[in-house]
Homo-oligomer: A and B are copies of this chain.
């Protein structure tokens, strides 16, 4: 099974000041994981050229297949993602004819005749050698940068969720599916009363050791104690792999062994 790895870099002061919950990173990592890819790191930086530049350089040094950025592509003073990438990778920003055409198309789609002034053309100034992608929902084109010194490809998605989602689904998801090939994921969780994480820890270690690390995932989430002071856990089991049947069997085996151990320890499944 070919691995597909990604890092996510979200740009926006509102994500650092507790104004906006980072649902973009959640949505992206969900889609990537359920298609068989692996998100290795999520980073959030503010609307600051140097911060974006450093984060991009650090990320591509770790060599993920893709670095997916979100936010900072618009026309306002605080939209600095492309500038950050240009500084980080030592590329010029240049007005791109195709990107200008995409802007025109975006405005035409809404039957709006805006003057393509300096402010609007900012959205078409992209790192030299990069590829603009039509934004099917909003205005600012998305941008793919392939000219990194490492193997990583960079895609800049808009921060507006609907725009980000549309371009991701059109331009990145097919590539992940293509790379990973057949993929099946089974997830399930259940709640247990009377069992603490510590009680279950030895069996968890055993299960994790005897199953393929990257394609099995067991996590215990401690909940608040019950009214009669009993520990409560939510236990989550994820199995994934190329073969549906094999994944089902692995998921069922892990569940079965956990449920037996919980019974042995005197726990109850809720």
Contact across chains for B44 and A16 when beta carbons are under 8 A apart: no
Chain A count of residues within 8 A CB distance of the other chain: 69
Q: How many copies does the complex hold?
A: 2
Q: What secondary structure prevails in chain A residues at the interface with B? A: mixed
Supposing A16-B29, A42-B16, A43-B41 touch, asked if A110 and B217 sit within 8 A by C-beta, the answer is: no
Is A39's CB within 8 Å of the partner chain B?
yes
Contact across chains for A39 and B17 when beta carbons are under 8 A apart: yes
- The residue in chain B whose Cβ has the minimal distance to the Cβ of A205 is B77
Residues of chain B with a CB closer than 8 A to A30's CB: 17-19
Contact across chains for B160 and A222 when beta carbons are under 8 A apart: yes
- 8 chain-A/chain-B pairs, Cβ below 8 angstroms: A16-B38, A16-B41, A16-B42, A18-B32, A75-B197, A76-B220, A117-B198, A120-B198
Report A's interface with B, CB cutoff 8 A. 13-23, 25-34, 38-46, 51, 55, 58, 74-78, 110-112, 114, 117, 119-120, 138-139, 160, 162, 187, 196-198, 200-202, 204-205, 208, 217, 219-222, 224-225, 229, 236, 238
